[in-house]
Structure 1
Amino acid sequence: MDTAIVLFNRDLRVHDHPALSAACARAAHVVPLFVLDPAVPAGGRRGFLLQCLAGLRDALRERGGDLVVRHGDVVAETMRLAAETGATAVHAGADVSALARRREERLAAERVEFVRHPGVTVVPPGDLRPSGGGDHYRVFTPYWNAWRRHRRRPVLPPPDQVRLPAGLAPGELPPHPAAGDLPGGERPARERAGHWLRHGLTGYGDGHDDLAGDRTSRLSPYLRFGCLSPLELACRAAHGEDFVRQLCWRDFHHQVTYAFPRINRENYRRKERRWRHDRDALQAWEAGMTGLPIVDAGMRQLLAEGWMHNRARLIVATYLIGRLGLDWRDGARHFFEHLLDGDVANNSGNWQWVAGTGNDTRPKRGFNLLRQARRYDPAGDYVRRYVPELAGVPGARVHEPWRLPSLPAGYPARLDGTDDQG
């Protein structure tokens, strides 16, 4: 085989990249390709994505190659490049969303060989099936037990060299913002992972719910864009079971989405609830102006950072669904727009879990939001960090519902959250 294309999607790295490794082993020339498709929503992730692509280009150039960037429909641009270079194969990492699956089906129907590779998850979505039948696990604990026993593929080194065909114009990347507190790309991802595995992993089980302490890894955006291999991370963190279990949760939602790709649009459990439709209430929640401090802090963190503490995500989702009675899809849509780590599988799977329409085996569990706030932010530091209007309120009193300076018409000026059950 003379020339092969490697189509990058959610695997923006050179370490442990099965598609890139296979193409470099089989073909004399390899064309790494990323297509910026205007039909694929990037939301608030676009700047982070462009940083990731710039980092990937640098890593490929260090190995004698380059990242070829094209704009338009992914399949059309891939096939146009195949015709230009004479490529006879396209290698890509397999994904699980409905959009990704349709793209793979279209590529498989083209005249060139299309080869899917693992790499988006630790265990490929279709590799584990319940012994009692069915195409996927519907409950997490049996999946976790099978997942940790499953034999894994080896972690692959990056290729020594990537040889592009002569005369190929790589194309320009759009301007991207300067790196912030969480810069995109494989290099900062590996640096952050190394530091956190050395200094944060040991206390993760005891501290990951501490809202103010923020003792989570914040590696999820890098996993979402594939700047880190989830398999390599699981291997390096093997002695930290609480953290590895979170990687398994990620795999769990991916295998559910692989079996049920409509997860972002339809209830996984078929029964539909009667949802309220209140635009003012939804907008107040989105803006962090509900009057319940712990909810407002979480929502403002999302808007400010493109990220939210995991415990806060559970709290704000429970408020939207359990207190306001609004459709989980409204919340999932807002998260997907703003989260750096927003993807279809985890975002929709977790929202459906909270709504009781997904994989939760106890869909009607109670959840007291003020109790959660006082337990996981006992001194109120998390709330004061993101709701400066409450900076002068001492101690745990900061969690008491507060009177907002202005609210949408018809929305209550004070919300009593003491009996919130979700």
Structure 2
Amino acid sequence: MTKETDEKPADGCPEGSPPLGNAARPESILVPLTHPNGVSIFPELSPSEQEQLSLEALDQAEESIIADSAESTDGGAGDNTSDGTASDAGYDSDSATSASTSAMSSVRDYMYENGRRYHRFREGSYNFPNDDVEQEREDMKHAMVKLLCSQKLHFAPIGENPQEMLDIGTGTGIWTIEMGDRFPSAHILGIDLSPIQPDWLPPNVRFMVDDVESPWLHPRNHFDYIHSRHTVMAVRDWMKLFRRAVEHLKIGGWIELQEIHHTPKSALAGGNGELPSDHPVARFWKHVTDGLAALGIDLDAVSDGRLSDMMHRAGFTNVTERVLHVPIGTWPKNKVLKTVGLYWRTILLDGLQAIALGPLTRGLGWNREQVELLLIEVRRAYFDNAPLMYMPFHVIYGQKP
């Protein structure tokens, strides 16, 4: 799904922007595709086969994901293993057995060591912890987005020689560091409320503790590109942020947001695209959304073109919105999207308590026991592939005229 809010030239693209077809894709996808711990995801496939699979995954994610019938029609919540934990019916017996085993083990072994759970949200603007476990989960989110997007780090047509970049809410800094490697002539600044970034950096990358919703310390007309991802749970005043971005971007510079709308949908044929409101996962996210609203944060801000509309009203032109589908679970037929779904479900499950505690206790006045009771059925429901659950991933970018 693509929403373009400005008039375009005859080729169907914003002025100065490449087409959304092959020309907008990376010249060469980084293959072989690997998990964050370096283990190959598809060792049985050649680099060219992996590249083709990755491009097909991006096309399907933007149009319509094809479900794996073995995954989506079993109607259950997965098989139970001997230790009582749930696993995906059919996934371990997929034709790519080694890839499936590698995905299941390396995702969890590398990213979630010691089975650690989150016990609190950090106070203030950001609603996730910043401990080691949360940092690992954030890095997994980065890996998931790269898989979903055919390894693209950005969609805005920033050219090959941007000089000054800003990454808002940089977190562990993993995106900023990779952009520093990709654009060695650029100066890239990552800002965050927490000084949790590594010390070893490319020479053109630096980090600073800063609050993007406070007055900016940077010169006007300074940046070529401003990037923000996974900040919808933190930003309270998007219009103020966009107006400041207009002030601090150079003429012709770009801003890009990459945000997931955390309201689960259903890809079932013949349905209306909505997950039933009484489904445990839908109810969970409704509670989280209500709790964050009580704390001054609109988790639905990314929906219905609202951010792109605000971006336009703030003065940006060539505003473009692309929406990709992030599957929850291993129901897609495409092996890349199957792995994306495994990653995303793992991210959601391992952060379940951390996601819930702050909004539900601080925002809705629940006690911890009530939260834990809710999470029991939510964990079980996440393993059910039958509803073909997914979440929309919005890529929104605009240019300073």
What's the TM-score, normalizing by structure 2? 0.30
**Based on CA coordinates, which of the two structures has the bigger radius of gyration?**
1
What's the TM-score, normalizing by structure 1? 0.29
Q: Which has the higher helix share?
A: 1
Higher relative contact order (CA 8 A, sep 6+): 2
Q: Which has the higher strand share?
A: 2
